[in-house]
Amino acid sequence: MPHRSATVLVVDDDPDHRFLIDRALREAGYTSIAVANGLEALDRLDEADIMLLDYRLPDMSGLEVLRSTMEVTGPSVVMVTAMGSEHVAVEAMRSGAVDYVVKDANYLKSLPTVIERAYRMHDLSRRAQLLERITLVVNASLDRQAVSREILRGARQVLRADACALYVAGPDGELEELVDGVAPAAVESVRKEARSVLIGIERKIDQDGRLLVPLPEHEGHRLGVLALLSAERREWLAEELHLAETLAAFAGIALANAARMELERSLVAELQETLDLRRAMVMSLSHELRTPLTCIRGFAETMIGHWDGLDDKTRRDAVGTISQHAEDLQRLVEQLLDFGALETGRMEALAEVVDLRQEVESTLSALAPMVGDRAIDVDVEAVVVKADPRLLRRALANLVSNAVKYSGPHGRIAIVGRAEASAARLTVADSGIGLSEEEAAHVFEPFWRARSAVLNATRGSGIGLALVQEYARVMGGEVSVASVPGQGSRFSFTLPLADVGAAVPARS
pLDDT score for 2:
41
Work out the angle at residue 73's Cα, subtended by the Cα atoms of residues 144 and 231, and round it to the nearest 5 degrees.
60
pLDDT at 442 over 80: yes
Kindly report the length of the chain.
508
Q: How far is CA 287 from CA 51, 282, 291, in A?
A: 81, 9, 6
Q: Are residues 109 and 76 in the same domain?
A: yes
Q: Are residues 52 and 152 in the same domain?
A: no
Section 213-240 average pLDDT: 80
**Cα within 13 Å of Cα(105), Cβ side:** 0
Section 167-188 average pLDDT: 79
By CB atoms closer than 10 A (0-12, 13-18, 19+), residue 324 is middle
At a CB cut-off of 8 Å and minimum separation 6, what does 383 contact? Answer: 355, 356, 357, 417, 418, 419, 424, 497
Q: Are residues 204 and 107 in the same domain?
A: no
pLDDT at 394 over 80: yes
pLDDT score for 456:
47
Q: What percent of the chain has pLDDT above 90? A: 22
pLDDT at 8 over 90: yes
Q: Are residues 379 and 485 in the same domain?
A: yes
pLDDT at 1 over 60: no
Q: Band of the pLDDT at 507, cuts 50, 70, 90?
A: low
Q: Band of the pLDDT at 476, cuts 50, 70, 90?
A: very high
Tell me, yes or no, whether 358 lies in a domain. yes
pLDDT score for 199:
78
Provide the terminal-to-terminal Cα distance of the chain, rounded to the nearest Å: 103
Tell me, yes or no, whether 461 lies in a domain. yes
Q: Are residues 491 and 427 in the same domain?
A: yes
Q: Are residues 124 and 181 in the same domain?
A: no
Query: Beta strand pairing status for 488-496 and 423-430?
Result: antiparallel
pLDDT score for 128:
65
Q: Are residues 146 and 16 in the same domain?
A: no
- Among 241, 243, 252, 242, smallest CA distance to 169 is for 252
pLDDT at 288 over 70: no
Using the 3D structure, point to which of 260, 292, 308 is the last residue of a domain: 260
**CATH code: domain of residue 49:** 3.40.50.2300
Q: What percent of the chain has pLDDT above 70? A: 84
Q: Are residues 97 and 145 in the same domain?
A: no
pLDDT score for 483:
92
Section 93-112 average pLDDT: 86
pLDDT score for 454:
43
At a CB cut-off of 8 Å and minimum separation 6, what does 151 contact? Answer: 134, 138, 166, 226, 247, 250, 251, 254
Q: Band of the pLDDT at 171, cuts 50, 70, 90?
A: low
pLDDT for 480-496, tens place per residue?
999 998 889 999 999 99
Between 114 and 370, the higher pLDDT residue: 114
Tell me, yes or no, whether 309 lies in a domain. no
Tell me, yes or no, whether 468 lies in a domain. yes
Using the 3D structure, point to which of 131, 154, 186 is the last residue of a domain: 131
Q: Are residues 347 and 481 in the same domain?
A: yes
Q: Band of the pLDDT at 500, cuts 50, 70, 90?
A: low
Section 165-181 average pLDDT: 78
pLDDT score for 502:
64
At a CB cut-off of 8 Å and minimum separation 6, what does 479 contact? Answer: 444, 468, 469, 472, 491, 492, 493
Number of domains composing the chain = 3
Between 243 and 4, the higher pLDDT residue: 243
- Among 288, 504, 471, 506, smallest CA distance to 396 is for 471
In this prediction the pTM is 0.45
Tell me, yes or no, whether 270 lies in a domain. no
Section 486-508 average pLDDT: 81
Q: Band of the pLDDT at 85, cuts 50, 70, 90?
A: confident
Section 323-352 average pLDDT: 76
Q: Are residues 367 and 484 in the same domain?
A: yes
Mean pLDDT of the chain: 82
**H or E element at residue 340:** helix 312-343
Q: Which of 24-28, 69-73, 277-281 has the lowest mean pLDDT?
A: 277-281
pLDDT score for 455:
41
Tell me, yes or no, whether 266 lies in a domain. no
pLDDT at 358 over 90: yes
What does residue 408 show for φ and ψ, rounded to 5 degrees?
Answer: 80, 170
pLDDT at 461 over 70: no
Tell me, yes or no, whether 323 lies in a domain. no
Tell me, yes or no, whether 313 lies in a domain. no
pLDDT for 295-311, tens place per residue?
888 889 888 988 888 89
Q: Domain range spanning residue 58? A: 7-131
**CATH code: domain of residue 447:** 3.30.565.10
Using the 3D structure, point to which of 260, 290, 317 is the last residue of a domain: 260
At a CB cut-off of 8 Å and minimum separation 6, what does 177 contact? Answer: 165, 166, 167, 168, 187, 191
Section 150-170 average pLDDT: 81
pLDDT at 253 over 70: yes
**Packing angle of the helix pair 312-343, 238-306 (nearest 10 deg):** 160
Query: Beta strand pairing status for 221-222 and 217-218?
Result: antiparallel
pLDDT at 453 over 60: no
Return the top range by mean pLDDT from 106-110, 173-177, 349-353, 388-392: 388-392
Q: Are residues 351 and 217 in the same domain?
A: no
What are the DSSP calls for 66-128, one per residue?
HHHHHTTT--EEEEEE-TT-HHHHHHHHHHT-SEEEE-STTHHHHHHHHHHHHHHHHHHHHHH
pLDDT score for 35:
93
pLDDT score for 207:
80
pLDDT at 59 over 70: yes
pLDDT for 11-52, tens place per residue?
999 999 899 999 988 888 889 999 999 999 999 999 998 999
Amino acid making up residue 400: V
Other C-beta atoms closer than 10 Å to the C-beta of 218 total: 16
- Among 106, 108, 30, smallest CA distance to 75 is for 30
Section 182-192 average pLDDT: 85
pLDDT score for 138:
62
Sheet (strand 31-35) strand order: 31-35, 7-11, 50-54, 76-81, 99-102
Amino acid making up residue 365: S
Q: Are residues 225 and 253 in the same domain?
A: yes
**CATH code: domain of residue 182:** 3.30.450.40
